[in-house]
Amino acid sequence: MTNSKQRIDELTKSLQEYNYQYYVMDNSLVSDFEFDTLLKELQALEEKFPEFASENSPTKRVGGDVTKKFEQVIHRYPMLSLSNSYSKEEIIDFETRIKKLTNDDIEYVCELKYDGVAIGIQYIDGKFYQAVTRGDGTKGENVSTNVKTIKSIPLKLRGDYPQDFEIRGEIFFPLKNFERLNKTRFENDEPLYANPRNTASGTLKSLDSSIAAERGLDCFLYGIYGENIEIDNHFDLVKKAGEWGFKIPKEETKYIKKTSNIDGILDFIDFWDVERKNLPFEIDGVVIKVNSYDNQNRLGYTAKSPRWAISYKFKTERVSTLLEKVTYQVGRTGAITPVANLTPVQLGGTTVKRASLHNADIIEKLEVREGDTVFVEKGGEIIPKIISVDIDKRPSDSKPFHYITNCPDCGSLLQRQEGEANHYCVNDTGCPVQITGRIQHYISRKAMNIDGLGTETIEVLFEQGLIKNPADLYELTFDQLIPIERMAEKSVNNMLAGIEASKQIPFEKVLFALGIRFVGDTVAKKLARHFVSIEAIMNADFETLIEVDEIGDRIAQSLIEYFGIHENVEMINRLKSHGLQFELAHNEDATDKLKGLVFVVSGVFDKFSRDELKKSIEDNGGKVSSSISGKTNYLVAGDNMGPAKLKKAEKLDVKIISETDFIALIG
């Protein structure tokens, strides 16, 4: 038992060091495989000997704890907001006022104003104690369970840290991770999130910490509060916090700067007003603080904010244009999305013609009407959105806007379930757009990838009454297709050959192709590999489903609802009768030679197609990633590979191999 405790302590210490090096110092000491192996060993030991498990164990990073309600916590030090300014004149006035009040040579610290969620984290004896949101400035919510999943936040400190202190900063959603989340939601026909900041806030308030863990939030920490802290200025204390293991803004990245005059402050503002577009996260301005704590204390506070600090907010690029008409899109799952059709206008280097209005609540909140002049921004630099209406320009004959009550495609009465933001058309077996949308998803490249079939052809076949669901594709004949306009003999034969070839597509892709809500390609792989056959998935109850890695309540409920519909089961039985793969094939060539290794595939190859190469990697236990990161072990490079990937691989010292090298790797 003593040996078990010793091993738990060793593993905890090692994994904490690997986490710190990778997420704070951008330095990979071990491979993903080695890290995961050690983490699994620690999890197993902690389950067997829970009395030896640390409350701040690295196993807490993966999430999974469920919080019923967030505890309210009173801040030991009030969490005040900064006063905002929108002009350089106000910054000049601030600096002049500071000089008059202190009669001293003043140093200032300039920092980025991260567009995220303010957080205060308390450490006692070098260990993570609790994390609390700003709330109303006097009290906030204890979100410790979710914050522990953020890998750049240390659970145990290093060096000569104070015995009891609080560090504050900003939790944010990296743009790459936010875009990946929205891409997944788009593929699953879910409403897209509007911007990273609100999504970060919602993620921190999630009751299931596994959601926070999988989304990949990040954090910069820079404000230290406590007793008996010997360093007398903000800039040096931030640097010291870096020695304790915190991810801090550093001089070399230009995220923080010390200056002694107004010119230095204005230079910092001008630099980041341009360069903010190149950051991997969002900022909405910069913050200027008096550096000396003695001077901060002399200057004091107003009721709402410190007198020794001010924020300068960048002007968000905004344009006005006419909202000509609101139309509605019907997704393949029946979700209704209102779309503002605009008079074309330039915004952020692109022409904007449409903006999502998201749902009925957003329209009501904006009080928007057709014919209004509206102000448009790019939410999160990604999705154009209407942020307000120019009431002064509203036409005299303007009429209040009424959200539709019936499906714009089939006329069915729309429904809105409790807790859902969107209205839905529930006529899934009779709504033409839903029917064609599901079949178009079925034939798409990431699903069945059927040659000779495109989205327009699907619409034509539906209009001709030849198809109503994917199973109908396998009963099409040459004689049915050849009379259709623009259907030549060669194109008909290609289409039928493509449909026939799709019978060999593996089970996990067939499962994804069915278009079950929330079941993207990654989830489909997880389900296929866990259950092996469609029958096992169909017969699984809620508890059995949520035991599968990455399968949460929503996915489990969606699966149960899908297989509870008679028409869906009947379609699957028809597909099975036509020879589709509904069972995971036993691959006799499968090995674990590449287990724990992450590959990126780029370019054109001689012996493999890219999909075949990716499948070979997975068949041999490896993982395929779409982008190069510090976790990538190999870049398999073919002809015509993009120069950006090559440059990034070289920068991160990722091993670059050819197709021949890969074949040698798998023997």
pLDDT at 107: 95
Q: Where among 415, 435, 461 does a domain terminate?
A: 415
| Domain-terminating residue out of 485, 504, 523 | 504
> For residue 523, what are its two tokens?
């989830």
425 forms beta bridges with 414
Residue 228 shares a structural domain with residue 300: yes
Task: Single out the residue in 270, 295, 313 at which a domain terminates.
Answer: 313
Residue % of the chain over a pLDDT of 90? 57
pTM for the full predicted model: 0.59
Q: At what angle do helices 432-443 and 455-463 cross, to 10 degrees?
A: 140
Token look-up 């194109």 returns: 491
Neighbours of 331 (CB within 10 A): 21
- Torsion from C-alpha of 29, 18, 197, 244, nearest 10 degrees: -120
Contact 433, 457 (CB under 8 A): no
Q: What is the pLDDT of residues 592-634, one digit of tens each?
A: 889 888 899 988 888 887 778 888 888 888 888 877 887 889 9
Between CA 201 and CA 94 the distance in angstroms is: 31
99 occurs within a structural domain: yes
pLDDT per residue over 61-90, tens digit each? 665 554 567 889 999 998 888 888 888 999
Residues 116-127 pLDDT 10s: 999 999 999 999
The answer to the question of residue 437 being in a domain is no
Task: Decide if pLDDT at 312 tops 90.
Answer: yes
Q: In CATH, what number is assigned to the domain containing residue 128?
A: 3.30.470.30
Same domain, 288 and 219: yes
Structure-token match 């002809």, residue found: 639
Helix axes 175-187, 196-204, angle to 10 degrees: 80
| Residue 2: predicted pLDDT | 66
Whether 175 and 92 have beta carbons less than 8 Å apart is answered as: no
Distance of CA 515 to the CA centre of its chain: 21
Statement to judge: residues 378 and 456 lie in one domain = no
Domain harbouring 522, CATH code: 1.10.150.20
DSSP string, 250-291: -GGGTSEEEESSHHHHHHHHHHHHHHGGGSSS-EEEEEEEES
Whole-number CA gyration radius for the chain: 28
Any domain includes 219 = yes
- The Cα-based distances of 422 to 162, 191, 430, 452, 493 in angstroms read 49, 8, 20, 35, 42
Does 176 map to a domain? yes
- Residue 369, pLDDT > 90, answer yes
Please say if the pLDDT value at position 380 is more than 50.
Answer: no
CATH value at residue 13: 1.10.287.610
- What number is the average pLDDT over the span 225-248? 94
Catalytic residue among 60, 113, 156, 509: 113
**Would 54 be classed as within a structural domain?**
yes
| 616 vs 625: CA distance, rounded Å | 14
> Is 468 an annotated catalytic residue?
no
Mean pLDDT of the chain: 89
Report DSSP state, residue 40. Answer: H
pLDDT for res 20: 81
CATH of the domain at 389: 2.40.50.140
- Does pLDDT of 294 surpass 60? yes
Q: Give the contacts of 177 (CB within 8 A, at least 6 positions apart).
A: 215, 216, 217
Indicate whether 183 and 133 sit together in one domain: yes
- Given a cut of 50, is residue 381 above it in pLDDT? no
Q: Are 308 and 222 in a shared domain?
A: yes
Total Cβ atoms within 10 A of residue 645 = 19
Where residue 385 falls among pLDDT bands split at 50, 70, 90?
confident
Q: For residue 223, is pLDDT > 90?
A: yes
114-137 burial, b for 16+ CB within 10 Å, e for fewer? bbbbbbbbbbeebebebbbbbbee
Q: Which residue has 């899109």 as its token pair? A: 329
Same domain assignment for residues 219 and 307: yes
Helix (H) or strand (E) holding 30: none
pLDDT digits 0-9 by tens, 143-187? 999 999 999 999 999 999 999 999 999 999 999 999 888 888 877
Tokens of 309: 């600090």
Local structure of residue 61 (DSSP, 8 states)? G
Q: Establish if 644 belongs to a structural domain.
A: yes
User: Same domain for 267 and 340?
Assistant: no
Q: Are residues 27 and 99 in the same domain?
A: no
Residue 343: predicted pLDDT = 95
- C-alpha 594/C-alpha 613 separation (Å) is 13
367-382 mean pLDDT: 81
Exposed, middle or buried, 35 (CB in 10 Å: 0-12/13-18/19+)? buried
Q: Return the minimum-mean-pLDDT range out of 111-125, 225-239, 415-429, 500-514.
A: 415-429
User: For tokens 């998201």, what's the residue?
Assistant: 358
Beta-carbon count within 10 A of 67 CB: 17
Q: Are residues 393 and 531 in the same domain?
A: no
Reported as a single tens digit per residue, the pLDDT across 259-277 is 999 999 999 999 999 899 8
Q: What total of structural domains would you count in the chain?
A: 6
Model confidence pLDDT, tens digit, residues 195-213: 888 899 999 988 878 888 8
**Residue 645: strand, helix, or coil:** helix
Would you say residue 542 lies in a domain? yes
- Tell me the residue type at 361: D
Segments forming the whole domain that contains residue 636: 598-665
pLDDT confidence of 500, banded at 50, 70, 90? Answer: very high
Percent of the chain whose predicted confidence (pLDDT) is above 70: 96
Same domain? 605 vs 513:
no
For the stretch 186-190, contacts whose Cβ atoms lie closer than 8 Å and that sit 24 or more positions apart, written own/partner, are: 187/446, 187/520, 187/521, 188/517, 188/518, 188/519, 188/520, 189/331, 189/332, 189/333, 189/335, 189/437, 189/515, 189/517, 190/335, 190/517, 190/518
Span 20-73, pLDDT tens digits: 887 677 677 877 677 777 888 888 888 888 888 887 788 876 655 545 678 899
> pLDDT at residue 467 above 80?
yes
pLDDT digits (tens, 9 = 90+) for 510-569: 999 999 988 988 789 889 988 999 999 999 999 999 888 778 888 999 999 999 999 999
Task: Examine the domain organization and report whether 335 and 395 are in the same domain.
Answer: yes
Q: Is residue 438 part of a domain?
A: no
Q: Do residues 484 and 512 both lie within one domain?
A: no
Average pLDDT estimate for 414-435: 90
